[in-house]
Amino acid sequence: MDMKWSDITPILEKAAGVALPLVGTALGGPAGGTVGGLLASLFGCENKPDALAAAIQTDPQAALKMKQFELDHELDLQKLILQGEQMRLADVASARQREVDVTKATGKRDVNLYLLAWIMVMGFFCLVALLVFKEIPKDSNGVVYLLFGTLATSFGCVIQYFFGSSKSSSDKTALLAQAQPIKGV
């Protein structure tokens, strides 16, 4: 199984003997490949997570190199982390704006969004109840737990979408309720 750049963080921190918060956060975000490439060049290895992990584990100077890297590139790492967070927030804003645009264009909310959200929430709680009150046959464990993981992730996404930024979300909901539908569309 191939490693991802975010998988390197524990290896880095173990080798360094200290937390590397900027490097670890940057590796786990959208700029992970860029930061990983810089670290690969620092250790003189191939630009792949597996190769970097091996190089770090065999380099006796790894701790010093990584701490120096984080200190030398502190501002750049902070900028990369900030850009990743801005991308995430733009994605959230885009989803919210879609709902406003659909409501303005059609004069009503998109019921499919709410229907799908309710199905995910009800499915999650039904499966939780099933897992608590029923014994699952041993040969079905894998499938049921896979379904549970999928529904738990979906449930989290629904909660995040509707309640993630509660103040701005409630403000947008209030504005949306006051919006006049566009006539003639």
pLDDT tens, residue by residue, 153-179: 999 888 888 777 544 544 555 555 555
107: left (phi over 0), alpha (psi -120 to 50) or beta: left
pTM attached to this predicted model:
0.53
Instruction: Tell me what percent of the residues of the chain surpass a pLDDT of 90.
Output: 10
Those residues with Cβ within 8 angstroms of residue 28's Cβ, 6 or more apart along the chain or in another chain? 5, 6, 9
pLDDT tens, residue by residue, 19-68: 778 887 888 878 788 888 888 888 999 989 888 888 888 888 888 888 88
What does the pLDDT read at residue 122? 94
Kindly report the average pLDDT of the chain as a whole number: 81
Contact 46, 40 (CB under 8 A): yes
Quick one: CA dihedral 152, 155, 159, 164, positive or negative? positive
pLDDT of residue 181 exceeding 80, the answer is no
| C-alpha span between 100 and 169 (Å, rounded) | 11
pLDDT tens, residue by residue, 86-114: 887 887 778 778 878 888 888 888 788 88
